[in-house]
Amino acid sequence: MRQEQIHSAVRILKREIRRWEEPVVGVVAKESNRDPFLILISTVLSLRTKDKTTREAGDRLFALARTPATMLKLPLNTIEKAIYPVGFYRTKAKSIHEICHRLINDYAGAVPDSIDELVRLPGVGRKTANLVVTIGFRKPGICVDIHVHRISNRWGYIKTKTPEESETVLRRKLPKQYWIIYNDLLVPYGQNLCLPVSPLCSTCKLTDLCDRVGVTKSR
């Protein structure tokens, strides 16, 4: 994919993803009026967990607490029970407690709006930080998860080995007007059509733009 073709790719993606459900963190953002704290906790829960499980766990947890102060009052085992069976639920419960403690002590109970500050929180990496900044605060950022990393490389738009490297390159190459929406577009496409193994290339509307890097088998 050539640089000038990214505009066509984004237009197609905006149209195509309408048939699939919105990623869970986006749903939480809309329903909570973009509450940065709920977005942050939902993102932590979503790591290595399917959206349906994340949504159900978040609903149970947020029925008990919706602020750092009230969340910190919950016993650790209560949080564990609420979020089970998300992946690594015991580790995530501990991280949620520690995040709330740091938010109260270091940020007056508010979620910081910068990536550099967010990654200082326990269990928060650059993917989570970028998602909170872009969805929660509508500030420029590029959330690179495995779908964004894989598809951007499959297109031939970038050539990188890790999501971290992909973020760096995309910050240089991707037009800034697409930074905030890039993850929202590629995640549902990667979950439903541009699969890791045997992608559905026969029904993909981006075949003329895609270099199919690394694709050895498709449907």
Catalytic residue annotation: 127, 145
Residues 195, 203 contacting (CB under 8 angstroms): no
Which of 169, 165, 217, 170 shows the shortest CA–CA distance to 196?
Answer: 217
Euclidean distance between CA atoms 161 and 96, whole angstroms: 30
Euclidean distance between CA atoms 94 and 1, whole angstroms: 43
Euclidean distance between CA atoms 79 and 60, whole angstroms: 9
Euclidean distance between CA atoms 175 and 133, whole angstroms: 18
Which string of b and e fits 69-95 if b means at least 16 CB within 10 Å? eebbebeeeebbebbeebeebeebbbb
Residues 1, 211 contacting (CB under 8 angstroms): yes
Which of 138, 56, 40 shows the shortest CA–CA distance to 96?
Answer: 40
